[in-house]
A and B are shown apart, each in its own frame.
Chain A
């Protein structure tokens, strides 16, 4: 049993409202392990940034308590929390050089000049910007500014670093490069990181655990693989990775699995009962596009339905195929571009198969009876 000492941050029943009418964060309970890289992932307005701002001390919690190193911090002002933070637009001070930016947190802590210099040099080397200390932030590229921002948040050796969509302003290639760089820095330094993003690939690449936010509530908190392989509800399945959805009604429950009759006359589908009610309740079947097999050999798959090819998109390593299955014309199948793969034509009717384990029966779509 983990004690409270093992957690660097604990949110206990935290609520936040800006207008006194609606809650942006509803009853948040979250523990962050020491040394962990935890990502808060969610669409905009889901409450993830608000959580980060409450943790940093820029927004007061309306209710509940936040603990840092097992110490309540609701009444501790931001500058006394000792949390490093990387901002979306970097917030590097434009009137100071890179080295002065890095020295700032050390100077305000009253560190001696020699120590400051040594630490600044070390921090610059960590982010591979040794020769750039004398430059102004405006003279650096976006990626370099980003690295300075990370170095500045780490230079005073905080236990915890918060990052608020730090890669949002970078182009795709640079973003991927920086993802690895931040991940490596986290591994070498051993600091705990709470990272906020709306980019699921960023979350999956970097994190130890991901908290998926929606509507002010953590929908699922799990390591990346589990999040992708075993989403617990329709929102997580939809938000993480690509996902085919089929709606239906539970007809029979057989231990771990349930038999669902899908809408549109597609027949009975045997699926893993993850988050459904009893017989007769509505459900969403979630199925990853890469787990669907075209023209399966007879008897190898529990579920076989027929689909009509609507569109083929050539993507090199696979062919993205849009099909109509049981009246749903948004059904995506990824056909691998492997040797001897099936060659499909638009308008063709083919058999599609998948296993019970890959098809997860989740909660009913919102608003459906």
Chain B
């Protein structure tokens, strides 16, 4: 019997000289191409406006061609500089003189002079105070004659210190990791060893820790506030819960800027909250009042308010699907209300809890507008510094390095979440 069936199957699996797999592929290829064509416009749009610019921006964190473009001969000559306690040899000074003269004369493409400006800026980011050394020397380079070493040191004392040479050597590679070190408050010293930045220049580690801490705190507060609300929404009759859901969603329809600035009205020194507390005699006047805004408190309050819906919605949608009979079953099996909640209800809300936490945390870690408006000095997050380097200091390399690390951090968290909870176990709504 089984032989007969197998034989029959064998007969059907070949038709027109093609086996079943080939025929299936042929039959479905039309649908596949249709799908590809329908997605193609969006794919191209995303590629051009999203993926390529981001990739280009991320590449900037390591792509650093200014020094190698401006001083090609010097960079090559510096390869022989091994004893970092001594100054480089005469040949290196000669190479620098040649490079600078070439740039003053217009350089390879006639843009030599502006390249000198960029070189000065770039080196200044790495070793502060050398901008004028470069520009001044470049202006006088025509008059610099052999012996070059003395002439350079006469033009500017800094040429007589190894620091500037180490800086040129470090940045001489078109691709280098200086910006990533800077983003962690680290630098390479003259000998190429990685050391901490001088204390006055250390800001980023504190900033990273603060960003993580605030994001974590906001996530925890959101869980604490959203869990009971979501539970209430999920258990109330539909007529009432729909109304309350609108209240939760209402902030979504209001501009982020309006919501943030309204916190300024509420939390300000003469704001609604403090005036009300003053009326009932809980706070004093003027300097006695606690500072609630333009500091970390302001950032935390405003961010929690804005991110709360992102926690409520996934939780609500998960809780909505949990039948009340589970809790009843747990109770009837002998579990007291607390135990029934912990053993039966809570584990079933983990997909929503995980989704909400990861959503809120990732949004919080990259938050910009709210800390910028209400954060003051100690409420600034890493994004504010990325924006600062993009718009003010124009140190795009450092901004890109900070951005890359932020992205990597989020990816790592996502991976960790997948390992612990499982991404398939996430429910967004």
Q: Which residues of A contact B (CB under 8 A)?
A: 56-58, 77-85, 87-89, 91-95, 104-105, 108-109, 152-153, 156, 162
Residue from A83, A89, A108, A152 within 8 A of B335 (CB atoms): A108
Besides A57-B331, A93-B326, 20 other CB < 8 A contacts?
A58-B328, A77-B331, A79-B332, A79-B333, A79-B334, A79-B336, A81-B332, A88-B325, A89-B323, A89-B325, A93-B348, A95-B347, A104-B330, A104-B333, A105-B334, A108-B333, A108-B334, A108-B339, A153-B333, A156-B333
Nearest Cβ distance between residue B320 and chain A, in whole angstroms?
15
Contact yes or no, A95 B325, CB < 8 A:
no
Nearest Cβ distance between residue A115 and chain B, in whole angstroms?
15
5 contacts between A and B (CB under 8 A): A57-B332, A80-B334, A91-B323, A104-B333, A108-B334
Nearest Cβ distance between residue B427 and chain A, in whole angstroms?
13
Does chain A have a CB within 8 A of B343?
Answer: yes
Contact yes or no, B339 A87, CB < 8 A:
no
Query: Which residues on the B side are within 8 Å of A162 (C-beta)?
Result: 332
B residues 321-356 near A (Cβ < 8 Å) are 323, 325-326, 328-337, 339-340, 343-344, 347-348, 350
**Cα A105 to Cα B348 with chains together (Å):** 18
Total chain B interface residues with beta-carbon distance under 8 A = 20
B residues 140-157 near A (Cβ < 8 Å) are none
Contact yes or no, B333 A95, CB < 8 A:
no
With known contacts A91-B323, A91-B325, A78–B332 Cβ distance under 8 A: yes
Nearest Cβ distance between residue A195 and chain B, in whole angstroms?
15
Contact yes or no, A85 B332, CB < 8 A:
yes
Contact yes or no, B332 A93, CB < 8 A:
no
Query: Which residues on the B side are within 8 Å of A153 (C-beta)?
Result: 332-333
With known contacts A94-B348, A95-B348, A83–B332 Cβ distance under 8 A: yes
**Cα A88 to Cα B326 with chains together (Å):** 11
Query: Which residues on the A side are within 8 Å of B329 (C-beta)?
Result: 85, 87, 91-93
Query: Which residues on the A side are within 8 Å of B340 (C-beta)?
Result: 79
Residue from B334, B336, B350 within 8 A of A156 (CB atoms): B334
Identify which of B323, B329, B350 gathers the most chain A CB atoms within 10 Å of its CB.
B329
Contact yes or no, B328 A105, CB < 8 A:
no
Residue from A78, A81, A88, A93 within 8 A of B344 (CB atoms): A93
Residue from B326, B337, B343, B350 within 8 A of A91 (CB atoms): B326
Query: Which residues on the B side are within 8 Å of A57 (C-beta)?
Result: 331-332
Nearest Cβ distance between residue A226 and chain B, in whole angstroms?
32
Considering only CB atoms, which chain B residue lies closest to A85 in the complex? B332
Nearest Cβ distance between residue B337 and chain A, in whole angstroms?
8
Nearest Cβ distance between residue A153 and chain B, in whole angstroms?
8
Summarize A's interface: helix, strand, loop or mixed: loop
Residue from A80, A87, A94, A152 within 8 A of B328 (CB atoms): A87
Nearest Cβ distance between residue B186 and chain A, in whole angstroms?
45
Considering only CB atoms, which chain A residue lies closest to B343 in the complex? A104
Contact yes or no, B332 A56, CB < 8 A:
yes
Contact yes or no, B328 A91, CB < 8 A:
yes
Query: Which residues on the A side are within 8 Å of B343 (C-beta)?
Result: 104, 108
Query: Which residues on the A side are within 8 Å of B336 (C-beta)?
Result: 77, 79, 108
**Cα A243 to Cα B347 with chains together (Å):** 51
Considering only CB atoms, which chain A residue lies closest to B327 in the complex? A91
Query: Which residues on the B side are within 8 Å of A108 (C-beta)?
Result: 333-336, 339, 343
Identify which of A91, A105, A152 gathers the most chain B CB atoms within 10 Å of its CB.
A91
Considering only CB atoms, which chain A residue lies closest to B333 in the complex? A105
Query: Which residues on the A side are within 8 Å of B334 (C-beta)?
Result: 79-80, 82, 105, 108-109, 156
Nearest Cβ distance between residue B152 and chain A, in whole angstroms?
73
**Cα A295 to Cα B277 with chains together (Å):** 96
**Cα A87 to Cα B333 with chains together (Å):** 12
A-B residue pairs, 9 tightest by C-beta: A105-B333, A91-B329, A85-B332, A91-B325, A78-B331, A108-B335, A95-B347, A87-B325, A108-B334
Query: Which residues on the B side are within 8 Å of A92 (C-beta)?
Result: 329
Identify which of A88, A93, A105, A153 gathers the most chain B CB atoms within 10 Å of its CB.
A93
Nearest Cβ distance between residue A38 and chain B, in whole angstroms?
18
Considering only CB atoms, which chain B residue lies closest to A92 in the complex? B329
With known contacts A91-B323, A91-B326, A93-B326, A84–B348 Cβ distance under 8 A: no
Nearest Cβ distance between residue A167 and chain B, in whole angstroms?
16
Contact yes or no, A79 B331, CB < 8 A:
yes
Query: Which residues on the A side are within 8 Å of B344 (C-beta)?
Result: 93
Considering only CB atoms, which chain B residue lies closest to A87 in the complex? B325
Contact yes or no, A152 B333, CB < 8 A:
yes
Nearest Cβ distance between residue A19 and chain B, in whole angstroms?
14
Query: Which residues on the A side are within 8 Å of B325 (C-beta)?
Result: 87-89, 91
Contact with A along B76-101 (1 / 0, CB 8 A): 00000000000000000000000000
Considering only CB atoms, which chain B residue lies closest to A109 in the complex? B334
Query: Which residues on the B side are within 8 Å of A152 (C-beta)?
Result: 333
Nearest Cβ distance between residue B321 and chain A, in whole angstroms?
10
**Cα A77 to Cα B339 with chains together (Å):** 14
Query: Which residues on the B side are within 8 Å of A109 (C-beta)?
Result: 334
**Cα A182 to Cα B235 with chains together (Å):** 33
Considering only CB atoms, which chain B residue lies closest to A94 in the complex? B348
Query: Which residues on the A side are within 8 Å of B323 (C-beta)?
Result: 89, 91
Identify which of B332, B335, B347 gathers the most chain A CB atoms within 10 Å of its CB.
B332
**Cα A58 to Cα B336 with chains together (Å):** 13
Considering only CB atoms, which chain A residue lies closest to B336 in the complex? A79
Query: Which residues on the A side are within 8 Å of B331 (C-beta)?
Result: 57-58, 77-79
**Cα A57 to Cα B329 with chains together (Å):** 11
Considering only CB atoms, which chain A residue lies closest to B350 in the complex? A95
Nearest Cβ distance between residue A165 and chain B, in whole angstroms?
12
**Cα A85 to Cα B327 with chains together (Å):** 12
Considering only CB atoms, which chain A residue lies closest to B325 in the complex? A91
Residue from B326, B335, B347, B350 within 8 A of A79 (CB atoms): B335
Query: Which residues on the B side are within 8 Å of A104 (C-beta)?
Result: 330, 333, 335, 343
Nearest Cβ distance between residue A54 and chain B, in whole angstroms?
13
Nearest Cβ distance between residue A287 and chain B, in whole angstroms?
42
Considering only CB atoms, which chain A residue lies closest to B326 in the complex? A91
**Cα A156 to Cα B332 with chains together (Å):** 11
Identify which of A85, A88, A109 gathers the most chain B CB atoms within 10 Å of its CB.
A85
Nearest Cβ distance between residue A80 and chain B, in whole angstroms?
8
**Cα A95 to Cα B326 with chains together (Å):** 11
Considering only CB atoms, which chain A residue lies closest to B332 in the complex? A85
Query: Which residues on the B side are within 8 Å of A58 (C-beta)?
Result: 328, 331
Considering only CB atoms, which chain B residue lies closest to A149 in the complex? B329
Query: Which residues on the B side are within 8 Å of A82 (C-beta)?
Result: 334
Query: Which residues on the A side are within 8 Å of B350 (C-beta)?
Result: 95
**Cα A153 to Cα B336 with chains together (Å):** 16
Identify which of A78, A83, A84, A89 gathers the most chain B CB atoms within 10 Å of its CB.
A78
**Cα A94 to Cα B345 with chains together (Å):** 11
Nearest Cβ distance between residue B35 and chain A, in whole angstroms?
30
Query: Which residues on the B side are within 8 Å of A56 (C-beta)?
Result: 328, 332
Query: Which residues on the B side are within 8 Å of A87 (C-beta)?
Result: 325, 328-329
Residue from B326, B332, B337, B347 within 8 A of A84 (CB atoms): B332
